[in-house]
């Protein structure tokens, strides 16, 4: 009889253990589902970002792109001018060796004058920033900010974020009025870094961290052009971290596109670590194009 009781107790204990395990698994699954459901509901409850905010982001992004475009065009033209100038010098030396010293000297002077005139004409044609357009853009951004600032406060934007954005907007405005190209590029990108934080207050399909990645990418290229490569390592780490966060927040991730971006991030990082400016800009352009495909 005692043995039967022991067997029964053992059987009951075993079944209770299995039952408790099943209950625990169901409970954990339910918690996970509730958490995901809650996150989805929270996202659905958020309102769409105000037009003033998205328009400010677009205008700031366009500023950065316009400056980079002018700088790239100018650098390319300067390289071409340098090649042409070197070719003229080589031709002058060749002609001088074939003529007597008097005629050769005269020819050399004529070629030098011609080369100087060509260089001066080319210098006048170098692309420059259209400051009148930038002044219109910064006026528009200031007006949009005046419209959005009260809404930002109501929608939960921290006072510190609002204050930092406003300070940086003032810096950008002053840099444009001073027509300081280098300062405008830096100030515009520093302003751009805050948009992801504002966009996080609202519903979104494309994670706001994509804007954060663009800020890091652009800042890395700014530092690379300035030769301050030592600043880029921390920026790379932050960029990679932001990309991982962005992937985790995608409602309907495009696996094929995300894989391309994974490799683009890796290629860009390697180019930066090699301190190769031209390769970094090329890989950065590819990464940026892929990021802008995320909808």
Mean pLDDT of the chain: 84
Band the pLDDT of 212: cuts 50, 70, 90: very high
Residue 49 is classified by DSSP as P
Band the pLDDT of 181: cuts 50, 70, 90: very high
Rounded to two decimals, the pTM is 0.76
Mean pLDDT (whole number) for 209-213: 97
Output the pLDDT for position 13.
57
Helix pair angle (209-226, 232-248), 10° resolution: 160
Q: Which of 205, 170, 190, 162 lies closest to 53, judged by CA?
A: 162
In angstroms, the CA 69 to CA 74 distance is: 9
Judged against a pLDDT cut of 80, whether residue 3 lies above it is answered with: no
Q: Is the dihedral of CA 264, 270, 272, 277 positive or negative?
A: negative
Domain boundaries, the chain: 1-32, 52-81+130-291, 89-125
Please calculate the CA angle 179-184-187 and round it to the nearest 5 degrees.
145
In angstroms, the CA 181 to CA 8 distance is: 86
Mean pLDDT (whole number) for 183-207: 96
Q: Which of 247, 199, 233, 237 lies closest to 57, judged by CA?
A: 199
Identify whether the C-beta of residue 253 lies closer than 8 Å to the C-beta of residue 247: yes
Judged against a pLDDT cut of 90, whether residue 244 lies above it is answered with: yes
Mean pLDDT (whole number) for 120-141: 85
- Regarding predicted confidence, which is higher, 126 or 14? 126
Judged against a pLDDT cut of 70, whether residue 23 lies above it is answered with: no
């Amino acid at each position: 009889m005692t043995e039967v009781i022991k067997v029964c107790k053992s059987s009951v204990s075993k079944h209770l253990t299995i039952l408790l395990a099943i209950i625990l698994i169901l409970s954990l699954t339910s918690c996970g589902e509730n958490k995901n459901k809650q996150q989805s509901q929270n996202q659905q409850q958020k309102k769409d970002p105000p037009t003033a905010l998205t328009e400010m982001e677009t205008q700031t992004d366009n500023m950065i792109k316009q400056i980079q475009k002018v700088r790239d065009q100018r650098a390319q033209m300067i390289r071409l001018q340098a090649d042409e100038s070197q070719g003229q010098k080589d031709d002058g030396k060749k002609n001088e060796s074939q003529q007597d010293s008097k005629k050769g000297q005269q020819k050399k002077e004529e070629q030098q004058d011609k080369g100087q005139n060509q260089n001066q004409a080319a210098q006048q044609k170098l692309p420059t920033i259209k400051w009148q357009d930038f002044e219109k853009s910064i006026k528009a951004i200031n007006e949009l900010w005046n419209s959005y600032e009260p809404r930002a406060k109501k929608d939960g934007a921290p006072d510190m974020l609002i204050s930092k954005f406003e300070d940086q907007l003032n810096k950008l405005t002053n840099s444009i009025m001073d027509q300081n190209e280098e300062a405008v590029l830096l100030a515009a990108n520093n302003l751009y870094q805050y948009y992801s934080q504002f966009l996080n207050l609202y519903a979104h399909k494309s994670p706001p961290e994509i804007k954060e990645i663009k800020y890091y990418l652009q800042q890395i290229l700014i530092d690379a052009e300035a030769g301050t490569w030592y600043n880029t390592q921390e920026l790379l780490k932050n960029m990679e971290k932001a990309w991982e966060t962005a992937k985790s927040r995608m409602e309907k991730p495009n696996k094929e596109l995300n894989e391309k971006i994974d490799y683009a991030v890796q290629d860009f990082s390697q180019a930066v670590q090699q301190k190769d400016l031209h390769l970094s800009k090329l890989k950065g352009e590819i990464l940026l194009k892929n990021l802008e495909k995320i909808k």
